[in-house]
Amino acid sequence: MAKRITVAVDANGADLGPSEVAAGAAVAAARGTRVLIFGPAQEIGEVPDGVEVVDAPVSIAKASDSARAARSTPESSIVQAAKAVACGDADALVSGGSTGTALAAGLFNIRRAAGIYRPALAIPMPIPGSPALLLDVGANVEVRSEYLVQFAFMGVAFSRAVLGIACPRVGLLSNGSEPTKGTPLVIEAHNQLSTLMAGAPDLEFIGNIEGNDVTAGVADVVVMDGFTGNVTLKVMEGSLATMLKAIGDVSKGSLRDRAGGLLLAPGIRELRDELDPETTGGAYMLGLRRLGVVTHGRFTRRGFARAIELAERGVREDLVGRTHAALEAAGALRSSPSGDGSSVDA
């Protein structure tokens, strides 16, 4: 029988409160995952089977200076959860709090994996008919071309191990499809990826892609710096929400429109569910010694259960080991030690 996998979960920071996180943990526990919850025991109340609670009432989920809070508040639930992962008491981290705080706590405690320049935040976008993994979506506002190269390999490993895509197609986001298009940084990354990915048997570097390609299903992994990634992600979310609202407004027009809207409502609800970020579990912190997931504050138990499930899958499929092996095979590991990595921006 396979080793039982333990996921450490920070229950502070969720909009619906720690008990909703615990309810999600119960779902994951029922599927066989061991879950360690760090949060206010009093608010969690009755502990579901298969779930253990470590009382950690202090929350830094809304700290304005997340890096500083993560360093100076060892008693906080997120730092305790991250330490549990760092010490081997748990195999992966799930956070219900802010992205910046989770990233800082992960970086200081779990630390970067050997040979990694910078961790990245990856989001699987549930685009109808053409899901795509976007990274970096905000951990690194400024990057170097070799970071982008590592992000590409990290994304490929995640896409394969966790999302089950056998031969991911990798695109580099730019302002034109020609290799000469983009900032000097993007052009340099394009050249490096062309060379390094040419020999890899189980992926395909399709070169530069443009903004409209992101939702068009041409790439499984889309690589960019964290500033562009944050903008891209949010423009996409905003555009999809605006369109859903506009369609809703159309359905409130004439009698004919209202009748049509009523008939189409179940179909549109399905589409809305398909676009729901809860189905993908959240944002994944790649490049640490262990996998971390940051859920969205407004998630329900369904989203937390999904995050724990995908974190468990990442551990079972040895995402971290496979990422390292792929980077090593491509010669894209950082050769010297990497300092304390305190420059993550999110």
Residues at the interface with a second copy (CB under 8 A)? 127-130, 138, 141-142, 173-176, 182-184, 186, 210-216, 224, 226-228, 230-247, 249-251, 253-254, 256-257, 259-268, 270-271
We find the least distance from the C-beta atom of residue 69 to a second copy, in angstroms, to be 15
SS3 of residue 76 by DSSP: coil
We find the least distance from the C-beta atom of residue 244 to a second copy, in angstroms, to be 7
Judged by beta carbon, residue 57 or residue 126, the one nearer a second copy is: 126
Half-sphere exposure for 312 (CA within 13 Å, toward CB): 23
We find the least distance from the C-beta atom of residue 44 to a second copy, in angstroms, to be 31
Lookup: tokens for 308 = 């724990």
We find the least distance from the C-beta atom of residue 186 to a second copy, in angstroms, to be 8
Judged by beta carbon, residue 140 or residue 295, the one nearer a second copy is: 140
Query: What is 265-287 written as a DSSP string?
Result: HHHHHHHHHHH-GGGG-SEEEES
We find the least distance from the C-beta atom of residue 256 to a second copy, in angstroms, to be 5
Phi, psi of 214, deg, nearest 5:
-60, -40
Judged by beta carbon, residue 42 or residue 212, the one nearer a second copy is: 212
Does residue 103 contact residue 346 with C-beta atoms inside 8 Å?
Answer: yes
Judged by beta carbon, residue 119 or residue 226, the one nearer a second copy is: 226
Judged by beta carbon, residue 138 or residue 287, the one nearer a second copy is: 138
Residue 92's closest CA among 34, 17, 157? 34
We find the least distance from the C-beta atom of residue 228 to a second copy, in angstroms, to be 6
Judged by beta carbon, residue 4 or residue 245, the one nearer a second copy is: 245
Tell me, what amino acid is at 13?
G
We find the least distance from the C-beta atom of residue 148 to a second copy, in angstroms, to be 14
Judged by beta carbon, residue 211 or residue 297, the one nearer a second copy is: 211
Judged by beta carbon, residue 254 or residue 335, the one nearer a second copy is: 254
**Cα–Cα dist 343/28, whole Å:** 34
**Cα–Cα dist 282/293, whole Å:** 6
Does residue 203 contact residue 171 with C-beta atoms inside 8 Å?
Answer: no
- Cα separations (Å) of 14 from 17, 24, 303? 5, 12, 11
Residue 313's closest CA among 166, 105, 132, 164? 164
We find the least distance from the C-beta atom of residue 140 to a second copy, in angstroms, to be 11
- Cα separations (Å) of 146 from 55, 75, 186, 222, 343? 41, 36, 10, 15, 16
We find the least distance from the C-beta atom of residue 209 to a second copy, in angstroms, to be 10
Residue 292's closest CA among 117, 143, 100? 100
Judged by beta carbon, residue 234 or residue 298, the one nearer a second copy is: 234
Q: What is the dihedral of CA 150, 151, 155, 161, to 10 degrees?
A: 40
**Burial (CB count <10 Å: 0-12, 13-18, 19+), residue 304:** buried
Lookup: tokens for 10 = 């920070």
* Cα Rg of the chain (Å, integer): 20
